[in-house]
Structure 1
Amino acid sequence: MMLVALLLATATTAKGGLIDAIGRDVGLTRSQEVDEAHGARMLQDANDGRPDNLYFAALLHLYGKGGVSESPKQALIHFRRAAEQGHAGAMVALGTLTRAGHGIAKDEKSALAWFREAARRNHADGMWLLGQSLLQGSGCDVDFDGAKKWLTEAAQQESYDALHWLGVMHEYGLGLERDTRKARALYETAASNGHAMAEYHLALMHAYGDRPGTPQDLPRALTLFQKGAARNHGGSCFNLGRMTMYGQGTPVDYDVARYWFSRAIATNDVAIGDVARTALEELEKGIKEASDFEDELFEEFDRMNQPPESAYAWID
């Protein structure tokens, strides 16, 4: 179960992660641009106190868009005012920020309560985040039945996050019958729609080839890990390092392996950081030992090829 715990943790600890996706329900995330004129109008509109307008103002403050200074604390004020008026998206935002301790004290129980309120309002992100929390025991005891219920309801709204987590439950038999073929199908659907963690789990299945119905396919695993690494996903960077170090699906290249392990560490993914550091240390140690051994061989070769002193005696 240790691997399961690592995989569950990896999904929620990467830098940025879910926080940078807040606002995707209205098309305003960290990756979107907002010009200053538009931002000024959005802030002005928020003065009427309507929840939708407060939500947009909160997003501007959260990401520092539209000429607004980035201020998670100010964003939280607007999110809370909107949530108190029943805005489900604001509830999801409050839950996400509170669970991460971003601009506010970390409080998994309060986060769970916000996700539950959003889920009751039929918000797909609220549903899958509630299901994920119940699966992980975040702010509560682990509840597989509850996780299945909310993830299934979110999946019915075409939530690819929900499909991914249902795949995890099937792959590891967490409250559901262990069915790796079904898990793979769920991952495939989510991954084909750009879900990074589904791509990662699918890559692991292909890398190891130890799941019924999924033969080892190192080239595909490599491609999927590369897609994850392009998104700065720590686990993907780490696995690219391993594959390059051992020549799995790609030529052995210690310099490239060193690069990927360093990239994995730099993502600040706490679930993968220590593993990547250990791998990098072992790689550096192995390279040094190989270099020292090579030096010894050359020295021995030189000694063996030195002619004896008597060979020069005739010169005298």
Structure 2
Amino acid sequence: MKRLWIASSLVFALLLQPLAATAAPLDDAIALYNQKQYREALPTIRGEAKKGDSTAQWYLAQMYYYGQEVGQNYAECAQWSFKAAEQGNTKAQYGLGFLYEEGLGVPQDIQKAFTWYAKAAEAGHPTAQEIVATMYMKGLGVGKSYGQALRWYTEAAGRGSRFSRYQLGRMYFYGYGVEKDETRGAKYYEMAAQDGQVDAQRELARYLTGLKDQPGKRVEGVAWYVKAANQGDGESMSMLACYYSDLGDNNAALTLHRRAAEMDIALSQQEYGKMLCAGKGTEVDYEKGFIWLSKAAHQHQPQSQYLLGMMYELGKGVAPDEQMAYAWYSVADLYGYPPAAEHKAAVRLRLTAAQIEEGDAQAETIMSSY
């Protein structure tokens, strides 16, 4: 199952922080563990775990998870996590939720995953609160409930979770389980964006640049696109490229559209293809332009579908083929791109009945591949 939240390689590492009120020998063993002296730490940790100490049980579970001085064994990890979790160890409860979610050492069971995440969330574990909120939001392992999602995102946001602040922004911005309030949503976006949450930076930028009657906000929004793009966000690169294009800076626009296109951003695949065909910021390259427009066309970009029709009709970057031109014009027309209908009709006049029938079939094949 795809992780709800964070990469599995980080889950347990984030939890390895000593709990207070442990016995002195165990304190020493944990210190050795944190110094990666696993061989020296293992005897005490194992001994205390067998005596029922939940902290030791949790550390022993980690050693089995990572194979630290013991053979990697997810089943043993799950058993020791369960012993600690039953005693109220919050980190173990969260970890056990993760094991059930991934099916590591236990049968994969999203309902049990939710149960253990929820126990950790109730005990104040912020990441568990984020995950529980997301599970309520999506209806995973529990009935969908925007109200509960709002509750848990709010709890986690209060503990500093930038992801939860971003999610709260989305809920208020789009009215998921609450009255729609774009201003309040934008405030949550800004809180998360200030803390480096890339999705929040992009959405805040989208909101601010959309305030047409406030030019100063547009400039602020572009600055947030820059921050998100610098973190590798493809959509922000694409929007920045459009901004540079509007300013007439074709070199900057081309570079950003190329980077975003390579990240599978459909709009940039289209715009990069168009720039290659027009020779903006680069030499004219119809063949390469055709490739990128094809990628965009298969991502439901109607202008790209229309342009492919033109390239087939004119033989630009591809061998002339009026039947294929007719097929692509038909697809663009079905997607509601106005110029496509006229071109489709013009090409149709030059085709035989058999070619028209085959072109219609090709258009259906293209549509069915989406």
Bucket of the pairwise TM-score, normalised by the shorter protein: 0.5 to 0.7
Name the amino acid aligned to 1:204. Answer: E
Pick one of 284, 292, 295 that aligns with 1:282: 295
Deviation at 1:91, TM superposition (A): 0.8
Greater alpha carbon shift after TM alignment, 171-180 vs 124-133: 124-133
Q: Cα offset for 1:171?
A: 1.9
Distance 2:211 2:112 in 1: 37
Alpha carbons of structure 1 residues 115 and 221: separation in structure 2 relative to 1, 3 Å: same
- Corresponding position of 1:260: 263
Q: Which of 1 and 2 has higher RCO (CA within 8 Å, sep 6+)? A: 1
CA contact (8 A) 2:204 2:224 kept: no
Partner amino acid, structure 2, of 1:169: M
For residue 89 of structure 2, the aligned residue among 87, 90, 101 is: 87
In structure 1, the residue matched to 2:152 is 150
In the alignment, is residue 21 of structure 1 matched against residue 11 of structure 2? yes
**Cα 1:84–1:168, aligned 2, differ >3 Å: closer, same or farther?**
same
TM-score calculated relative to the size of structure 2: 0.55
Supply the distance in 2 between the matched residues of 1:185 and 1:106 (Cα, whole angstroms). 38
Task: Give the Cα separation in 1 of the matches to 2:124 and 2:56.
Answer: 20
Which residue of the partner structure matches residue 274 of structure 1? none
After superposition, give the CA deviation of every residue in 1:43-87 in whole Å (9 maximum; x if it has no partner): 6413322211222232343345x5555544432222112112211
CA contact (8 A) 2:225 2:236 kept: no
Q: Aligned letter for 1:17?
A: A
Q: In 1, Cα distance between the equivalents of 2:185 and 2:39?
A: 43
What are the Cα deviations for residues 87-146 of structure 1, in whole angstroms up to 9, with x where unaligned?
Answer: 111111111232244454332211111122223323333333222222221112111222
Q: Gapped runs of 5+ residues in structure 2?
A: 19-32, 245-251, 266-290, 299-303, 320-370
1:224 matched to 2:218: no
1:190-221: per-residue Cα shift (whole Å, max 9, x none)?
33334xxx421331341464479974734532
Q: Which amino acid aligns with 2:316?
A: F
CA distance in 2, matches of 1:279, 1:92: 44
**Which residues of structure 1 form unaligned runs of 5+?**
1-9, 230-235, 263-277, 297-316
Q: Which residue of 2 aligns with 1:140?
A: 142
Is 1:293 the counterpart of 2:316 in the alignment?
A: yes
Counterpart position of 1:111: 113
Q: Which moved more, 1:202-211 or 1:135-144?
A: 202-211
Structure possessing the higher radius of gyration over alpha carbons:
2
Tell me the CA shift for residue 23 of structure 1.
4.3
Which residue is equivalent to 2:272?
none
Which stretch of structure 1 is more off in the superposition, 208-217 or 112-121?
208-217
User: Which residue of the partner structure matches residue 169 of structure 2?
Assistant: 167
Of residues 53, 56, 63, the one that matches 1:53 is 56
Distance in 2 (alpha carbons) for counterparts of 1:18 and 1:188: 28
Q: Is 1:205–1:211's contact at 8 Å kept on the other side of the alignment?
A: no
TM-score, with structure 1 as normaliser: 0.63
Residues 55, 202 of structure 1: alpha-carbon distance in 2 compared, 3 angstrom cutoff: same
Helix, strand or coil at the partner of 2:316: helix
Q: How far apart are 1:26 and its partner, in Å?
A: 3.6
Contact 2:120 2:128 in 1 (8 A): yes
Letter in 1 for 2:7: G
Distance 1:215 1:258, change over 3 A: closer
Residue of structure 1 equivalent to 2:205 = 206
CA distance in 2, matches of 1:211, 1:53: 55
- For residues 60 and 211 of structure 1, the distance between their equivalents in structure 2, rounded to whole angstroms, comes to 53
Q: Percent identity?
A: 19
* Pairs aligned (count): 254
Structure 1 residue matching 2:264: 3-state secondary structure: helix
For 2:175, give the aligned amino acid.
G
How many Å apart are 1:280 and its aligned residue?
Answer: 8.8
What is the distance in 2 between the residues matched to 1:114 and 1:137?
A: 16
Report the Cα distance in structure 2 between the residues aligned to 1:280 and 1:34, rounded to whole angstroms: 53
